[in-house]
Amino acid sequence: MEFAMTEKNKHLNDPLNKDFVSTEDGNVQFLILHNDEIHTFDYVIESLIDVCQHEPEQAEQCALIAHYKGQCDVRKGTRDTLSPMREGLTERGLTATID
């Protein structure tokens, strides 16, 4: 999946940004949080903060997107980087996949 470079997402290519992902190897993947209708928003938000190192506002937005759209890309990176986060979320009973 490719996205157009805009001023809004230009910071994602800044190596000093904590969300920076090198795309040189072409193996960028996404950690997807799926809506489950079981857990509370507070629980999901807390899990995203603890496991994915989200800021509270970012975690809240991801929880809302997953609720209303059925899923949300919560992190991007290599499979090696995302696998422990996926495991952390699934250990908390949340449904997460890597695509």
pLDDT in tens, the chain (99 residues): 333 333 434 444 444 444 545 545 568 999 999 999 999 999 999 999 999 999 999 999 999 999 999 999 999 999 999 999 999 999 999 999 999
- Report the distance separating Cα 86 and Cα 83, nearest Å: 5
Rg of the chain on CA atoms, in Å: 13
In a domain, 20, yes or no: no
CATH of the domain at 86: 3.30.1390.10
In a domain, 67, yes or no: yes
In a domain, 38, yes or no: yes
Which residue range(s) make up the domain with 35? 27-98
Residues 76-97 as b or e (16 or more Cβ within 10 Å = b): bbeeeebeebbeebeebebbbe
**H or E segment to which residue 31 belongs:** strand 29-34
pLDDT for 25 equals 56
pLDDT for 7 equals 42
Number of domain units in the chain: 1
Q: Which two tokens stand for residue 71?
A: 């899923």
pLDDT for 46 equals 98
pLDDT for 26 equals 64
In a domain, 90, yes or no: yes
In a domain, 89, yes or no: yes
